[in-house]
Amino acid sequence: MVPNSAKEVFILGLTQAGKAFRPSDWAERLAGVMSQFRPGGPQPGSHLAYSPWCIPTTLGGIKCVIVHRDLHDHDVMAWDFCLNFAKDNDLQLRFEAPGSVAQ
């Protein structure tokens, strides 16, 4: 469950057992699927850039996707898709950047 106070959810490319998630481009694939969910809705060519609400990155050497709470406010099903992706693949979630104290 995501705390209501969390502005962002970090889906880490690590399983609950601490193993790296494969394939190695999973973060880019997930963010690519979510590219249409953006402020103002999909526009011509918007599939060519990541949504500001779902961004693939690497933090502390760990691949991750940052999912912003605004996605939830825009489309609950898209938010649920991201969180269910993490759950279905047994991925770790953080509610602050990896390396911070809170989890």
Whole-prediction pTM value?
Answer: 0.85
Given this model, what pLDDT does residue 49 score? 87
d(CA 53, CA 50): 8
29, pLDDT greater than 70: yes
Give the span between the Cα atoms of 70 and 38, in whole angstroms: 9
CB atoms within 10 A of CB 40: 7
Determine the pLDDT at residue 95.
87
Ranges of each domain in the chain: 8-94
Give the fold, CATH level 3, of 8-94: Alpha-Beta Plaits (3.30.70)
Cα–Cα distance, 56 to 95 (Å, whole number): 15
SS3 assignment, position 103: coil
Q: Is the pLDDT of residue 4 over 80?
A: no
